[in-house]
Amino acid sequence: MLAPVATPLPAFSALLFGLSGCLVDFGAQAGTASKGAALAADTHTQLTPGALENLQSLRQQGIPCAWLDELPDPLSQTLSAPLGNLITATARSQVRWPAPDACWLALMALKVNQLEGCVLVSGEPRLLRSGLNAGLWTIGLASCGPLCGLSPAQWQALDSHERERLRAQATLQLYALGAHSVIDHLGELESCLADISLRRRKGEKP
């Protein structure tokens, strides 16, 4: 007797990412840095854990990606420079988060013709609400986003109990606003996307 053939996992249509506190700028501190502070050689422009590997993997899979942010354009350009051509930058929406417009404009720029299978990844609560309002799957980032708000050095300087306390607090806040999943940082994105694929195959909708 032949074994039943497993139903393939549904493919993703597109992934949208926050810029600060997600792909770069661990702790999302660049927007609050003192005016005139040099960012080029600062930790703000360093890619967060897992960012490079995930963007490369998504490109290999042919899944379109774009980043969003509401920081001033010169700052966004500086922060996004290390990303090169791995991901598309999207034009700033005239309507601020948590309105859904920014997410929809990003998907239009990527020429995505359906909301089904579209995911937003961010640690910024207002952007996550924008994704929820747009009808997207949402993945919140606990440790590297603004809810913890610590640079990599500040984060590592904490003892394990304090890190866990802050991580748990941020996780609860992200789930409370409606995020479908919450992970620490992009290093955990692959397994999270696999879980969402299983949920989608079972018929769950965002």
d(CA 118, CA 107) in angstroms, rounded, equals 9
| pLDDT value of residue 35 | 46
| pLDDT value of residue 3 | 47
Structural domain count of the chain: 1
In a domain, residue 7? The reply is no
d(CA 98, CA 116) in angstroms, rounded, equals 20
In a domain, residue 85? The reply is yes
Helix (H) or strand (E) holding 35: none
| pLDDT value of residue 141 | 98
| pLDDT value of residue 32 | 81
CA angle 28, 26, 34 (to 5 degrees): 45
| pLDDT value of residue 33 | 64
| pLDDT value of residue 6 | 59
- CA separation (Å) from 62 to 7, 42, 47? 21, 32, 21
d(CA 99, CA 129) in angstroms, rounded, equals 8
In a domain, residue 34? The reply is no
Q: In this structure, what CATH number is given to the domain that contains residue 116?
A: 3.40.50.1000
| pLDDT value of residue 9 | 77
In a domain, residue 70? The reply is yes
In a domain, residue 51? The reply is yes
How many Cβ atoms are within 10 Å of 24's Cβ, its own excluded? 28
| pLDDT value of residue 7 | 66
Expressed as residue numbers, the domain containing 55 is 14-26+43-201
d(CA 14, CA 146) in angstroms, rounded, equals 24
In a domain, residue 67? The reply is yes
In a domain, residue 133? The reply is yes
Global pTM value: 0.94
Question: What are the pLDDT tens digits along the chain (206 aa)?
Answer: 444 545 677 899 999 999 999 999 999 998 886 444 555 447 789 999 999 999 999 999 999 999 999 999 989 999 999 999 999 999 889 999 999 999 999 999 999 999 999 999 999 999 999 999 999 999 999 999 999 999 999 999 999 999 999 999 999 999 999 999 999 999 999 999 999 999 999 999 99
In a domain, residue 108? The reply is yes
